[in-house]
Homo-oligomer: A and B are copies of this chain.
Amino acid sequence: MRSASADPTTRERIRDAAVLRFARDGFGASVRSIATDAGVSPALVIHHFGSKDELHAECDEAVLAEIRKAKNESIDELAAGQSILHRFAAADEYAPMLGYVLRSLQNGGPVGQTFIEQMIEDAVGYTKHGVEAGLVKPSRDEPARARYLVLSALGMLMLEITLRPPEDPADLGAIVRDFLTTSYFPMIELYTQGFFTTRRMLDEYLLYVPDPPQDTATEPASD
């Protein structure tokens, strides 16, 4: 996306315009609208990228590269347990990328896939740290828990944005920040005190299904 140089290639300008339009309008956005945004003829878009699908693919790559870069640039914060989502929501410059990722999540595209996989991977690391530091309770199935936490958070965000889409997509950062703050309390409460008063449900499940997949199932003492 926005390349470092102040005078980007026409090709880059087209790609950036495409990322933005895809983020705003979804991947159904027309080549013509992208061309107009880039101040260029539709034919030139095809001339440079061959087809709309290839343009889409290059946008995917560009966004993934940008994500990698953003993660590397903020390793410190991320190590502190903040998810990449907070990082993206923090600065409005990430709004297009964030929108693009959410669209890709919504359409089952590869960007969404790998984004989720990465977040799950990260979450496994965070919880591991948390457990070792004694801040987080161990789980009988850490990967399953990490997956559950990521999918529920991301899915919830997606739902929220789909149901109440931002009028101006530039506000996406603000909306995500809003989401993070309003969902923060019920989440923290649930994470802290749980939901049930009894262990009945869990015990019944453990009785019924002897043990979840033996991944990291080191059978931790039940607190």
Residues in chain A within 8 A of chain B (CB atoms): 28, 105-108, 112-113, 116, 134-137, 139-141, 144-145, 147-149, 151-160, 162-165, 182-199, 201-202, 205, 209, 212, 222-223
Contact = CB atoms under 8 A, between A and B. Distances in A.
Given A148-B186, A152-B153, 6 more contacts: A108-B164, A108-B165, A137-B195, A148-B187, A152-B155, A193-B223
A83 to B, nearest CB: 14
Contacts of A116: 159, 163
Given A105-B159, A152-B156, A165-B108, A189 B145 contact: yes
A149 B187 CA distance: 9
Nearest to A212: B185
Contacts of A160: 151, 155
A190 B156 contact: no
A223 B186 CA distance: 16
A196 to B, nearest CB: 5
A151 B186 CA distance: 12
A101 to B, nearest CB: 12
Nearest to A179: B151
